[in-house]
């Protein structure tokens, strides 16, 4: 997995920035509305966290779908199974570590058991597997769309 900048032509770069702009505005207005609702209603706790999570997912979906629709994968990575596996493993490791930190945040720091490790491990494997499947599906769709766009451009 190399972090060299992928050579994008000017059209792809302009479209990529357009997609990022839409994702930014979805996040901005989503957080604005969520803050207004929570201030008006006085809601707090898990409702605010759930709202933030939904806004983050919506912004990510806008960028992901917009990029795939335009045949653009990423500015730094080439679409490959190797990169998908690496990113999936990183996601699984992060989820595993978060799963181990949860008992510490709830005051069970001295009672971390093998059950906690097993639960965190199962969730991490599930996360890595789902991430890999979704990335491979998205990679295939992006490559197919990119080939179609290049064929239309050549005609």
Question: Which tens digit of pLDDT belongs to each residue from 1-50?
Answer: 555 555 567 777 788 888 888 888 888 888 888 877 777 777 766 667 77
Distance CA 127, CA 135 (A): 12
Closest CA to 64 of 107, 111, 16, 114: 16
Q: Whole-model pTM?
A: 0.70
**Residue 137 has which token pair?**
């599906």
pLDDT of 53 > 60? The answer is yes
Helix (H) or strand (E) holding 70: none
Q: Which residue has the tokens 């690496």?
A: 86
């Amino acid at each position: 997995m190399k972090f060299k900048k992928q050579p994008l032509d000017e059209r792809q770069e302009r479209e990529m920035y357009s997609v990022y702009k839409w994702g930014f505005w979805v996040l901005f207005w989503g957080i604005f509305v969520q803050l207004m609702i929570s201030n008006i209603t006085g809601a707090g706790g898990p409702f605010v966290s759930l709202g933030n999570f939904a806004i983050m997912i919506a912004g990510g979906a806008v960028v992901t779908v917009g990029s795939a629709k335009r045949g653009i994968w990423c500015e730094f990575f080439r679409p490959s199974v190797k990169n998908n596996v690496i990113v999936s493993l990183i996601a699984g490791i992060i989820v595993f570590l978060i799963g181990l930190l949860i008992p510490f945040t709830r005051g069970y720091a001295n009672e971390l058991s093998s059950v906690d490790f097993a639960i965190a491990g199962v969730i991490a494997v599930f996360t890595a597997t789902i991430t890999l499947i979704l990335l491979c599906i998205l990679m295939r769709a992006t490559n197919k769309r990119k080939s179609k766009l290049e064929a239309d451009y050549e005609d």
